[in-house]
Amino acid sequence: MRYWSLIFALAAVFSVGAFAYAPFSADWWLPNPAGEPYHSVSTFGREIDALFLIILVLTGAVFIGTQAALVWAQFRYADRIGEDGLPVRPAQYFHGSQRLEVIWTVIPAGILVFLALYQMDTWAKIKFRSASPRTPVLAEVTGRQFQWAMKYPGPDGRLGTPDDLFTVNDLHLVKDQTALIHLKSADVIHSFFLPQMRIKQDAVPGMAIPVWFDCDRAGRFELACAELCGWGHYKMRGDVVVHETEAEFQAWQAAKLAEQGRSQIAGADEPEGDDR
């Protein structure tokens, strides 16, 4: 009978094992660029990852402790019937322990309050409007069924003028510069999710929500929709391209603007962009 405890032990070992293996596989760990599975590309990402690890270690320790106690109790105190058909050992008769109750109330409470307070600063830095950077807006991003419409201010640096650049599912920013976007929705609720940069913010119709982030690696990343928005929800994938330099970004923008202003076919209609 007591061997039933092993199945519980197995579940615990499996859980711990899976979590312990996860960091050693890029596919199992937090989403990071392919070449550097342990490098989080954004400032907020690194802070979030650190907090995540703290919680992971703390909960892991609590998990191992409670599961060990549970499995031990199951194994040690399993009923055994002797030769005479009577239990080998009687059950103890007690109703609890005030001291234990106090201990296992106060210690977890302390840990939990610490965790909550320790997170506040990062949370404020990422989301509080008062913390938003004083930089010009990179783009206005509007979710609509089922794509992300991007509007860049263009050369005059102002949104809502005829030189705005319009793209779809194509967000461009510059390495190491904080990108500030205004997030809107044209129809239902969407959610702007940059897995590699650990950014997520719902886009709510009727609201313009500022979102800011940075990235310290040039390259191509992914933008996803994380809030159910209808039959094409899974289709709302966008490309995020991080340029090495401001000049590269400007060149891209100029090329895109030229294409947006095209009035004759002359010259091959060949938009830039690599072949994935």
Partner 1 sequence: MSAGPNATEPNPHDHIPAAASNFLTRYVFSTDHKVIGVQFLFSSLFFFAVGGLMAMVIRWQLAWPWKPVPILSQWLWSSPGLGGQMPPEFYNKLFTMHATIMIFFVIIPLLTGAFGNFLIPLMIGARDMAFPKLNMFSYWIMWPGFVLITLSFFVEGGAAEAGWTSYPPLATAARSTPGSLNGQTYWLLALLCAGISSLTGSINYITTIVMLRSPGMKMFRMPMTVWALFITALLQAFALPVLTSALLMQTLDRLAGTNFFTPVGGAVANAPAAVGGGAPLLWQHLFWFYSHPAVYIMILPGMGIASDVISTFSRKPLFGYKPMVIAMGAIAGLGFIVWGHHMFQSGMNPALGATFMLSTMMIALPSAIKVFNWIGTMWGGRIQYTSAMLNAMAFVSMFIIGGLSGIFMAATPVDIHIHDTYFIVGHIHYVLFGGSTFAVFAGIYYWFPKLFGRMMSERLGLIHFFLTFLFFNGTFFFMHIVGWHGHMRRIADPTVYEFLRTPGVVGMNQFMTICAFGLGASQLIFAWNFFYSLVAGPVAGPNPWKANSLEWATASPPPYYNFETLPRVYHPPYEFSVPGGEDDFLPQTTPLPDNITLDPVMA
Partner 2 sequence: MIVRRCIRLGLGLSILLTTAAGCSDADLTGPIVYEEQPAMSREVEGKAHLAGKPRIQEKARKTLARLYGPSPKEIHVPEGAPLSKDEQGRLGVLLANHVQTAQGPEKLPHAGGYGLYRRHCLHCHGVSGAGDGPTAPFLFPLPRDFRRGLFKFTSTPNGARPERDDLRRTIRDGLHGTSMPAFEALLTKKEIEQVVDYVTFLSLRGETELALIEEGFIADDEDEDALEDDIVDELVQSVFGKWEDAADTVVDPPVPRTPPSPESVARGRELFLGRTKEKLECAGCHGAKGLGDGPSFVDVDVFNRVVFGGDPSKMPERVAKLDEKARELWKQKLDEWGNPLRPANLSRAVYKGGRRPIDLYWRIAKGITGAQMPAHYPGIDHAQIWDLVNFVLALPYQPELLDDAPAPAAAEGVAADAPAVRR
**Contact residues: partner 2, CB under 8 A:** 145-147, 149, 160-162, 166, 168-170, 184, 186, 208, 231-232, 235, 237-239, 259-266, 269, 273, 275-276
Chain residues 222-241 in contact with partner 1, contact rule CB under 8 A: 222, 224-235, 237
**Residue 138 interacts with, from partner 2, partner 1, none (CB under 5-8 Å by kind):** none
Q: What angle do CA 150, 156, 157 make, to 5 degrees?
A: 55
Tell whether residue 113 is a contact of partner 1 (CB under 8 A). yes
**Residue 260 interacts with, from partner 2, partner 1, none (CB under 5-8 Å by kind):** partner 2
Say how far apart CA 72 and CA 91 lie, in whole Å: 16
Residues 6+ apart with CB under 8 A from 196: 31, 32, 33, 40, 41, 42, 45, 215, 221, 222
Calculate the dihedral angle through the C-alpha atoms of 169, 245, 37, 42, rounding to the nearest 10 degrees: -80
Which residue from 120, 265, 266, 268 is in contact with partner 1, where contact means CB under 8 A? 120
- Choices 76-84, 170-178, 246-254, 267-275; region in contact with partner 1 by CB under 8 A: 76-84
Q: Which helix (H) or strand (E) holds 98?
A: helix 98-127
Residues 6+ apart with CB under 8 A from 217: 33, 36, 39, 41, 175, 242
List the structure tokens of 154. Answer: 């263009």
Among 196, 225, 239, residue whose Cα is nearest residue 34: 196
CB of 265 to partner 2, least distance (A): 4
**Residue 247 interacts with, from partner 1, partner 2, none (CB under 5-8 Å by kind):** none
Among 62, 46, 45, residue whose Cα is nearest residue 112: 62
How many chain residues touch partner 1 (CB under 8 A)? 102
CB of 237 to partner 2, least distance (A): 5
120 or 268: CB nearest partner 2: 268
Chain residues 84-103 in contact with partner 1, contact rule CB under 8 A: 87, 89-98, 100-101
CB of 50 to partner 1, least distance (A): 9
